[in-house]
Structures are given as C-alpha cells and as structure tokens.
Structure 1
Amino acid sequence: MTLTQDQAATPPNPAPGGGVPSLSAVRPTVSPDRLLADLVPPRHFAQARFSTYRADPAHPSQTTVPARLQEVARETAAPRSSGLKALFGRRRAAPAVYMDGGFGVGKTHLLTSLAHAVTAELGERSVAYGTFVEYTNLVGALGFLPTVEALATRRLVCIDEFELDDPGDTVLMSRLLRELADRDVALAATSNTLPEALGEGRFAAEDFLREIQALSSRFEVLRVDGEDYRHRAVVTEATPLSADVVARSAAARRGAVLDEFEDLLAHLATVHPSRYGALLDGVEMVALTGVRPVQRQEVALRLVVLVDRLYDRDVPVLLAGDAGQHLFSEEMLRGGYRKKYFRALSRLGALAEEGRRLAV
C-alpha cells in the first residue's frame, strides 16, 4: 500500500452548511513512522496497572496470573548479561507468556499492566504494544526484515488478540515472534476462548502452541478464568435509539461524527485497515443511523477492525436502526471468524451503552 504523510490529529472538517461532520468524508494517510509510534497501550487502558486489576475471588487464576506477570515484568526489566558472563555462562531466555481465556476476563488489562510496568522501569521506547492485526499491517507497510529490526530494539513486544483464523498471517506472526525471541526480546500475547468452550480445556492455547511450533517450548501458558465483566453478548439489549435522538446528540457534542451505516461500511472498503486508527483522529463520538445486519463477511471483518479501534480509544457510539441482536448472522457467529465477531459484539455493546448515557 502507498503510505504518505500523516494527517493532523484534528476533528474531521464540518459538513457543508455547518452540519455534523461525517467519518465517511475522512481520507486518512499514515506513514510507517506513525505505525511504529502507535504501538503503545490503547487509551482505554491508559490507567491499567496490576494494582487496579480487580480479581474475582471465585476464580483463583485472576490472582495467580497477575502475580506471575509482575515477575515477568521484573525479569524483562532486569539488566541483560554482558561480557564474559554472556559469552560463557548460560543465558536465561527472555520471558514469553501467553494468556488464554474468555472475553472480558481482564487479559488486555493485565497485558497493558505488564507493558506499563516495563515502561516505568526502562522508558517509553522499551515496549511495543499492538493487536495481531496491527503487527501484520506493520509488516505489510515496512516489510518483514525492517519490522524485525524495528521491534528488536524493544525489550518487550505485546500482542493482544492473537488470531489463528488466517493461515498466512499466523505463519507470518509465528516467524516474526521467532526472530524476536532469538534476539532476546520478551514476548507476551493474549487470545480468546469462545464463551461456549470455557471450562472444556485450553482450546485456544492448544491451537496457539501448535501454530507457533518452533516457539511452543518457550511460551508459558497462563489461563485466566472468569466471566465477561461487560456481560454483553449482543450490541445492546436496550431499546434502540431513534435516528432523531442520534442526530441531535451528535450535533450537541464536540468531536462527534454522524454517518449512515451503509455509507460508512462502503467507505471502510476504500481505507486500508492499518489507517482506521488515523480515521478516528480527533473523533470523540461516532453516531450511526440505519444500522442493520451485515450480510457479507468481508464487510463484517472491516467493521470488526473499526470496533477494535473505537474501543481502544474509548469512543462512545450512538446506534439507530434495526440490527438489534443480529448485527452478524448466525452463520458468521458459527464460522471461522466467530471469535472476532463475539469480541466485536462485546466491545460494541459497551461503547453503545456509554453512548446511550450521553444521548440528549
């Protein structure tokens, strides 16, 4: 893809006639430098620390996993061996941990807490933090070896939502992790077990270890049990907002954008997913009218990426339409990308509830 100079992080331009601006009118451009600079914990988890993680006493792993991750932070931040000791002694491999568990059990909170702990000891340039998709986009923008060289300067690389549904991307990420591990970079990753699989074994962990064959012996699997704290399996269980309320609320809020759902979906097809973060620069609320079930898988997958970027940035969403509990079809929710869709529904539900609270 062609990457040009970044746009400024300012709200979208007002619509002609002074109306509410539209996200569909934004044409973001993103430089490779910005892709690297954006590999930081999301704004949603800016205050996440081990001390703010609220463990559920009913699930002991929510206490043991944070304790282990604090040890990992200390191991990662410890001085590396050098000189004769490094040449002739047995160097301990950099830590590599993988957190498995269902949606909303706090894995991302713990991953960002680990990132913040290492950053506090070694400085901002010591950690790279991104989702699986953001790293594959980075490789697409920079090339494989330049990506390795850039990330090898970090002491810790965190990968949130490691995905196993695209064989090509999975092989790419496995190779990237192997290169980084060989360069003594600590690794931490998360993934999800589907809600219906909880309690039936480490299904996601088994898949993960199988796909990273060369690294499987290095990774320590940490299972985080529990229930989704958001308690969302659908976009929202409340009565949908009217189009008038959505439009009025958007007009009353600085930094809001207002789009017809189908127009936004069509626009997303013209923007590379690596630019969806830049698409939201300066946006403080996304208001959508005419929300209806998504019929095509490629359209649904682009929407999932946008929801992830909205959630990362804590951007509330106003929804008007008739999608209700059926934004994604039953076929999609049973298919190979079902983890992405369940995650998106959970996250969009939380953002929609925040939007309802702000509606006027």
Structure 2
Amino acid sequence: MSTASQTSSTPQPSPAPQLSLTPGQPDLYLAWLRGSRPYPPGEQAAAERTAEELMAYVGDEWAPKRKVPDRSQVKYFADLDARVRDLPPSHLPYFWDAISHRYENWHATGAYRRARAAEREHHLPVDADYVVANALFLTGRAGMWGDEQATHLRWLQEAFEPARAHAETVRFLTATAAHNYLEPPENLAGLIRDCAGAAGFGLEEDARLLGIALTGQATWRATTPLLTDAAEVFARARPDEETQRRLLGVYPGGNSGAGGKPMLTILKNSGAFDAMADGRVTPKNGCAGWLTGFVKYFTYYMTKDGRLKTRIMPPQLYPLLKRLAERLRAEGVPVRVHYADSDGSGNRLDARLAETCLELGIPLEDPGPGGYLVVPPRRKDEYARLRADPVLGPRVAAVDFRPGSWGKLA
C-alpha cells in the first residue's frame, strides 16, 4: 500500500501498513492480513484461518443466497454485519473492500460504505492514494450510489490541497460517467462549485465538469433538482462543442422524478440544441437518431414502487422540434417517433408528436400494426394530417381521438 499521501478519514497524517494492495485483486482481505502480519506468529496463523473461513462462508453460503435489495443495505448485509462484529476494527476496511470488489451496483456500494465508515468510526489510519484508487475502481466497474459519490467528493476536498482535490475530482467524475449507471448525487453542482472554486477556477470549469458528469449512463437516473442546477450553470457558461455533442447523447428516463423538461432545458441552455439545429454539431446517429432516442427513453418510466408506466411527450419539445425540422427533412429518411419493441407489442405513438412532425414535413417511419396511438389529454386537436397520411392514416382509421384515449394501430 502506497504511503505517498496518507491522511485519516477526517483527514490527519498517520502511518499505513507497508504493503502494496490493488483494488480488485483476488482475496484482498487475506492479502492484507498476510502482508501486514499484525499479530505474533501463533496468533497470526489463527487470524488467517479465521479470515479464510469467513471468506469461504461469503463465497459458499452468503453470496449465493437471494438478498433483499434495499437501498440502505440493512437487510441485505444483516448476516455479514453480525458475523464481523468480533473482527478487530483494523480488519474491517479490507474485509468490506474485498466484498465490494466481488459484486456490482448497490451491493458493492453497501460494502464500500461499510469500509469507509469503519475507518471513520474507529479512527483508523487511511492511505489516501488507496482510497482514491478504490473509489475509481468501484465507480468505474461496479457502480456507486449518489450519496456515496457525494461523500467521496467531499472527502477529496478534505484530504488534499485544492489543486490535487480538483484533479482527483475530474478523474472520479470521468470514471463515473464512463461506466456508473446509478443515481448521481442531487447536490453534484454544488460539490463541483466548491471544488473548482477552491482551486481557483470560475464558472466555465463548473460547466465543463458538469458536462463530463452528465454525459454518462447515470444521467438517466438524475433527479430534477440536479438537472435544473446544471441547466442554470449552462445558461451562464456555455460549454464547448464537444461537450454539447456529448449532451446530445443523454436522454431522460428511468427515474419518474426527472421528466423531459429539465433535460430539454439543459440542451437549450447549453446551446447544444441550437448547435444541432444549425448543423454545427451532429449527434452520433444524426438528428433523426436524437429524436428517436428521446422518444425511446422518455416514453416509459419506472415508478418508485416498481411499476412501468408511459407518458406523453413534454410540451417543451415542440418549439425545439420546429428548430430541428429543416435538418430532419434534409436527412431524407423516415424518422421513428414511436417507441419500438422488437415484436411490436409495446409500440407507442404519441398522436400530437406524429401530427406535429407531419405538419413540419418530417417523414415518419411506419410503426406497423399492433401497437397503440396515445392521444394527449386536455387537447382537442383535429389530427387532420395524421388521418390523411397515406401510411399512418389507415393505421389510425378506427382510433377514437378523444383526449386521453388509447387506440390500437391497425
């Protein structure tokens, strides 16, 4: 374990074991115990046997059993929490880190949280370089919940001087955006501001770092307050075109608390949407691909009680769609604006979106039979273009266009 940058979790200087541990290495707990040898020979052998038996139990009996995936992990880890109560405090960070390296998403975060909590509660010596490497490993491979991300980002500011804290924050945000798909911290914009400001950076750096953080899979689960904070930053300091291009690859979905409005506001305030409409920035799959992606990720969402629900397109989309229409027409390919299941059974076509696209001259892909036309509530549109379209007209001929109704596509 490196001793180049030692702090305690508060932090404060303290010695660390003289061995090299790498996050993710097999049997990290046993490697620490055998390498540091904290006991006299006779006691050391007994401690290693106990550790081997504990890790064997983890692999043979604890891990295979189905656990309750509660967010706090109290039920999930109840058995192991009971079994490690008799372990010396110095063992706990390495035991729990070994567990976090074996599992993914909330399972890994629950173990990681216990490792860091043990360091704080027992005032254990902490090798800051190891903690940094461990957090990068976890967020990049297994995922890390937003509350633990926030704890780590605050710890970086306490453990290092401002320039190093800023550099490590950038590394962590980049690793998180690349692989992590768990909810980011709601106060991420404030954490970034504190870090960048302490290192002497202005609002432009806030925008750059938020552009990194909000272009990964985790953005799919971002909350409305976080997206709203980011939109305010982007309105005051527009990111560069590369960041705008990345932002165009981010869509709402999954989290019922974050609808399409805050994501569209981010694209508007950051200049990403104008850059796409003006042809200065082209998304990965073109403008048609961007609109298809928005429909795909927005149409369905998961409620907090685990139910899958659908929603109509947000009204904020339509003024932006007018800006994009010329490029969509120029691409010359029918645009898929329905949610497409592989067998067609889950297809959903938003009636107002289809009508608006046809009004703007945007060619639409045929959704095929078997799906549903969803008519937005509280609107009494005639849907004349949709009814008259040579392809879609026959599909919706038998649909009742009452506001809020669903009709099966023929």
Relative to the length of structure 2, the TM-score reads 0.25
Q: Name which one, 1 or 2, has greater alpha-carbon Rg.
A: 2
Structure number with higher strand proportion: 1
Which has more helix, going by share of residues? 2
**Which one scores higher on RCO, CA 8 angstroms, separation ≥ 6?**
1
